[in-house]
Amino acid sequence: MPGVTATTRVAAVIGDPVEHSRSPSIFNAAFGAAGIDWVYAAFTVPAGGGADAVKAMRTLGIAGLSVTMPHKAEVIPALDHLSDEADRLGAVNCITNSDGVLTGHNTDGAGYVASLRAQGVDPSGMRCVVVGAGGAARAVIHALGRSGATEVVVCNRNAERGSVAAGLAATGRSIGHDELGDALASADLLVNATPLGMGPDDPPVVPAEKLFPALVVSDLVYEPLRTPLLEAAETAGCRTVGGLGMLVHQAAVAFELMTELAAPVDVMAAAAGFAAEN
Ligand code: NAP
């Protein structure tokens, strides 16, 4: 990649914390592979500073921003437009700058569905069970609904949040944990959208005996890459999809929105620090 010059276009991630973000590695590798004079940085922006960061984006002519916690909702009033997804989810993870017109997007759901498709899994016509109803779950539920899932059953600890999240899919409904076993018995796809599996002492997302070979099991957690849920699913003979794919594909969608070029997905996956096939 040529060095940074006076005409290099700048993109960045804003959030707090961002020190451990993989986005600079992923995007800089992509810019290099695409042969474009762009560079990607990381800015620590504490809570409450999201709107000022968007103002700075205008002033400095920053070409694209990735937005992470705690700014996904906070930046919205400072933007000119929102994509349908960002509007529906009330959350932005990518801002594009087209001649000073700033548009907020949410690429998590499209990234998730792309990660399924990359593994040969088409959610259209599938009966899906999503455990969790936080930010990641909401994007996934919305995208599964839009992709033609026959049913999107949301199982969340907090019932009210579960029911609001289920409303993001036309075919959504919310259940309690006591109904999870029954819902799984007729499901085609299980999604873990909780942090369960990150900690060594976490309880299982679902009891291992509820898993069966025809069920596709997907975990949004990518640290560790092979979560206890994915290991249990492999043992049960299920097809599995790990969380790395969503991480890479949501960045790929953001790259395409920012640069209007096709994303070098394999390069981005390698730069994420894992093997592309995971
Ligand atoms: P979030 O907004 O904080 O939501 C967390 C969700 O998990 C909530 O629904 C919460 O339930 C539920 N939950 C938390 N602890 C639980 C427990 N002990 N038992 C049962 N449910 C529990 O978090 P998020 O941003 O959606 O992220 C969720 C996970 O997805 C993250 O930990 C991360 O690993 C993963 N993620 C992956 C990607 C990717 O690119 N692969 C992207 C984003 C997130 P309540 O509503 O009842 O509190």
78-123 residue pLDDT tens: 999 999 999 999 999 999 999 999 999 999 999 999 999 999 999 9
Q: Whose CA is closest to atom 5 on ligand 1?
A: 134
- The span from the CA of 147 to the CA of 110, in Å, is 9
Domain ranges (residues) in the chain: 9-106+246-277, 109-242
DSSP, res 200? T
> Is pLDDT of 137 > 60?
yes
Query: What's the length of the chain?
Result: 278
The answer to whether the 9-106+246-277 and 109-242 domains have the same CATH topology is yes
Partners of 104 in beta bridges: 82, 95
**Residues recognised as catalytic:** 72
Query: 9-106+246-277 domain in CATH 2.50.20.20?
Result: no
Q: What is the pLDDT of residues 171-216, one digit of tens each?
A: 999 999 999 999 999 999 999 999 999 999 999 999 999 999 999 9
User: Six-digit token pair at 98?
Assistant: 């087209």
Assess contact for 102 and 132: CB atoms under 8 A: no
For ligand 1, residues with CB inside 6 Å are 132-137, 156-158, 161, 193-196, 198, 220-222, 243, 246-247, 250
Residue 276: pLDDT band (50, 70, 90) is very low
Nearest to 110 by CA among 133, 89, 132: 89
Assess contact for 131 and 125: CB atoms under 8 A: no
Rounded average pLDDT over 4-33: 96
Rounded average pLDDT over 264-274: 91
Preceding omega of 224 cis (within 30 degrees of 0): yes
Report the nearest atom of ligand 1 relative to the CA of 111: 40
Report the nearest atom of ligand 1 relative to the CA of 222: 41
Its CATH class, for the domain covering 109-242, is alpha beta
Give Cβ neighbours of residue 176 (< 8 Å, ≥ 6 apart): 155, 159
User: Six-digit token pair at 53?
Assistant: 């960061």
User: Six-digit token pair at 210?
Assistant: 């509820």
Partners of 128 in beta bridges: 152, 189
Residue 1 has a pLDDT of: 52
